[in-house]
Amino acid sequence: MNTDQNNFMGGGLIIEPPRPKDWYFGGLSGVTDPIRNKAGFKRYLDTGRPQSWRAHDGSFADVYACVSYALAASVTAKMNYLLDAGAFTQTAVDWLFDNGYVTEDVGGRFRFNMSRRWLAKLSGTVPRVGNSLRTVAETMRTMGPVPETLWPTVDGMTEAEYYSDIKDSILEKGRALGAEFLARFTYSWEWVMPDDTNISQSLLIAPVEACVKMGFRDKEGLWHRAIGDANHAVAKWGADGAIDEIRDSYKSDGSFDRRFAPDFDLESTMLHDVNPVHATEKPHMFEFKEGYLYFVNDGTGILPCLYAAKMLRPVTNFEEFGQFLARNKEVAEPIQSRTENVLASQIEGQELRDFKGELVAKVIDGKVTLVGSVSYTGGIAGSDQKKPWYGSSVDDSVSLRLKGFVLMALPLVMMFVHQFYPDITQDAVTAAFEGAFALVGAVMVIIGQARAKK
């Protein structure tokens, strides 16, 4: 068997089903704020890396590391796209260059090059057996990648040489590099339900890893699935109608690219996403557009937070949110449909205003500082103000007045008690407290009445 084969040995996939706590694309997702590429990833794929070759001792070597190769193909394409799009800071790009992760090709493009051999070894891939998608992905998530130059695949090496023990000095350096990579860039993985909708949406983020069972190639050059369980992992980077465009780690007619027939169903697909840290850290999200009034979403849950009549308050349900949009149609709907999430540091110096146009907060030193009488109980950065016990929004005016009336009624209740229970005496201290309650209640009623008129 040679490297230019139409069918192949092994593959190297161990099927491991998803677990209850796993992330799922399109559902309970762990991929946050992904950078999407609508133009596709074809031009960002690497030149292809074989997982099998003729060794220098004459034997045929197949390292059974298709899972590591497919993951690397996906991550490499996404990193190349981000480099080409200028998504990284110059400091981040310099670090990648200085540590051998990135080189510049003949065309002047930056090319990311991670070690498949390192990932296969550290994830515990077993020769003639393989590994599972989860195990390799978790190794990438917890240990990060290293550059190809640190632990390269050498032409003609045997399977034993490929999986040889890593020297302590190289292992220490690689662990340090991987940890720093994960501090500068984020990596996350999640399952993708293998239907056309989910896969097409995930392909906007990165090529997806898929489990397959290779069968035969027809006269049109399209591959069909064989009978039996999947035993191989590939990276799907695109589609031509119903035909899947695949990057493989085995060559066919001199190419690592394959085209799957429409009846070739993919199995156990997984998304691997990388981003600059600043694009995926958990921010306090501020939604704004120039020329509109501002409101803020603290990003801590599925329900939004709104500025309303100088008071910031969380929305407790979607019905209430819909009513708010209806009441503020001219302002709220354009904001909802034409906003973007940004970090506080990206709107330094901005003023946040309520729907009446009044100033409620400023962004100072990357934090939101609330001003005026605004109170809020959520997680706005820079705010340690607590919600007053009597309420914090204009809609609390009714509650405020009711509480005031209750306090004002307290002396009347006590008069009733003394009338029918003369044994209960009313000394000066008790009378003073009752009078104070009545006074506080009157003030609350006045404030509530004033808020209701706003």
State the amino acid at position 199 in one-letter form.
I
Same domain, 267 and 303: no
Single out the residue in 261, 280, 299 at which a domain terminates. 280
pLDDT of residue 305: 41
Helix axis angle, 168-184 to 133-143, nearest 10° = 80
Q: 45 or 33: which carries more pLDDT confidence?
A: 45
Stretch (H or E) spanning 273: strand 267-276
Same domain, 131 and 197: yes
Enter the tokens of residue 425. 């005496």
Reference 12, options 62, 85, 53; nearest CA is: 62
* Torsion angle of C-alpha atoms 22, 214, 72, 43, degrees rounded to 10: -120
pLDDT above 80 (res 410): no
Q: 344 or 444: which carries more pLDDT confidence?
A: 444
Q: Among 65-79, 103-117, 323-337, which is the least confidently predicted range?
A: 323-337
Q: How far apart are CA 239 and CA 224, in angstroms?
A: 15
Q: Among 31-45, 90-104, 367-381, which is the least confidently predicted range?
A: 367-381
pLDDT above 70 (res 397): no
pLDDT above 60 (res 38): yes
State the amino acid at position 261 in one-letter form.
A
Is residue 328 assigned to a domain?
yes
Enter the tokens of residue 74. 């996906």
Same domain, 380 and 400: no
Same domain, 139 and 260: yes
Average pLDDT over residues 417-425: 67
Is residue 262 assigned to a domain?
yes
* pLDDT tens column, 318-333: 454 455 455 544 444 4
Same domain, 359 and 256: no
Is residue 2 assigned to a domain?
no
pLDDT above 90 (res 445): no
DSSP 8-state class, residue 103? E
Same domain, 115 and 164: yes
Average pLDDT over residues 74-81: 96
Is residue 36 assigned to a domain?
no
DSSP 8-state class, residue 24? B
* pLDDT tens column, 155-201: 999 999 999 999 999 999 999 999 999 989 989 999 998 888 889 99
Numbers of helices and strands, H then E, in the chain? 12, 20
Same domain, 409 and 370: no
Same domain, 48 and 176: yes
pLDDT averaged over the chain? 75
Is residue 412 assigned to a domain?
yes
pLDDT of residue 21: 77
DSSP 8-state class, residue 171? H
Same domain, 232 and 84: yes
Across the beta sheet with 214-217, the strand order is 185-192, 267-276, 208-212, 232-240, 243-252, 255-260, 222-225, 214-217
Cα distances from 392 to residues 233, 358, 360, 400, in angstroms, run 55, 16, 13, 10
CATH of the domain at 216: 3.90.70.10
pLDDT above 50 (res 88): yes
Same domain, 267 and 310: no
Same domain, 216 and 74: yes
Q: Exposed, middle or buried by CB within 10 Å (0-12, 13-18, 19+), for 77?
A: buried
pLDDT of residue 7: 44
Cα distances from 413 to residues 78, 262, 431, 434, in angstroms, run 72, 80, 12, 10
Q: What's the sign of the alpha-carbon dihedral 389, 392, 395, 400?
A: positive
Is residue 167 assigned to a domain?
yes
pLDDT above 70 (res 438): yes
Reference 94, options 78, 105, 81, 83; nearest CA is: 83
Residue 372 confidence class, pLDDT cut points 50, 70, 90: low
User: Which range, 1-5, 262-266, 384-388, has the best average confidence (pLDDT)?
Assistant: 262-266
Q: How far apart are CA 190 and CA 423, in angstroms?
A: 73
Number of domains present in the structure of the chain: 3
Phi, psi of 49 (to 5 degrees): -130, 125
Average pLDDT over residues 352-359: 52
pLDDT above 80 (res 344): no
Q: Exposed, middle or buried by CB within 10 Å (0-12, 13-18, 19+), for 415?
A: exposed
User: Which range, 150-154, 272-276, 299-303, 333-337, has the best average confidence (pLDDT)?
Assistant: 150-154
Is residue 7 assigned to a domain?
no
pLDDT of residue 191: 93
Q: Determine the structural domain holding residue 407 and report its residue range.
A: 396-452
Phi, psi of 314 (to 5 degrees): -75, 145
Is residue 35 assigned to a domain?
no
Average pLDDT over residues 53-63: 94
Same domain, 178 and 49: yes
pLDDT above 60 (res 337): no
